[in-house]
Structure 1
Amino acid sequence: MRNLCLSTLLVLSMAPAQSEEFVIRTTERNGLAYVTAKSLSEQAGIAVKSLPGQNQIAVCAGDRCAPLKEFVRDGPETLIPVAALAEVLGAVATFDKNRERVSLAFRPATSPTGAGIARVGQLAPNFRLAKLDGGSVALSDFRGKRVLINSWASW
């Protein structure tokens, strides 16, 4: 087995083959519907993690992961706006008639071929990079694994 060290990595998101749906209790504040990080984790299996050194969190549902800037800290609890959550994870949010519960249905992801620029939470297009030892590595070499691509530009 060879060890591979990359300084450039990416959060890959692949959708489940079929759509999944979860129903979660909501909280309303200033006309916006929120769900708690705890309920997302316990009822829908959606992980919510703080990103160190940033005022952001990351939400992961299955193989889909995305950063999220919009959230509210309420003591020990983290409240996440339903609309922002649905947008970054590629879900459709449907409320009950009293807006007390929301159903999140995850749409299957589309192939990046012909899809134009990949958005956060979508599958990144494949690319190949040269390694320092003269070999090469492709993003597709890491298919099925979560990968973080960290890019930097001085401009």
Structure 2
Amino acid sequence: MSLALVLTVVVIALVAVLAGRAERHPVSGPLAIPLVDQPAAATASCRTLDDALSDDLAGLARRQLVGQTEGVAAWGDPAVVLRCGVTDPRELTCSAALVDVSRVQWLQLSDIGQTTYLAVDRPVRIALTLPDGTGTGAIQEISAVVDQVLPARSVCDGHGSVVPARG
């Protein structure tokens, strides 16, 4: 193999590694999060969850937030956003299809360009919004944290009604 070919391969590999790092850990400024109704954001459950969250989520760096940030965390760009203490959407019923990820029951709500998962079997409702193309690492990691720090509970009572979040 010629020296020029070896150097070309090394440069291409180095560029690929650096591009991968830049994609996984983008340099981003403070992020303004749109307001969402989060009546239970100040509860002990949300504070416990926030204290357990990492500065890194599935290879994405945690973002600095501006504005109303209680009960909110974000990572990466485009941002993966976690909101704790949100209200129940109309889609949450006792017959809704739930997705189990690491012992946490999530209601999947798809929208253009993103999917929001709502943890429905904990004392508070937790919304995790993933931009399209994010992959499953973020929800797997968040599920592990939620399962570790917040007790599971029934989504519905014995009469077919959703059990309200209590914080």
Same fold (TM > 0.5): no
Which has the bigger relative contact order, CA under 8 A and spacing at least 6? 1
Q: TM-score, normalised by structure 2?
A: 0.24
Structure that is richer in helix per residue: 2
Asked which structure has the greater CA Rg, the reply is: 2
Larger strand proportion of the pair = 1
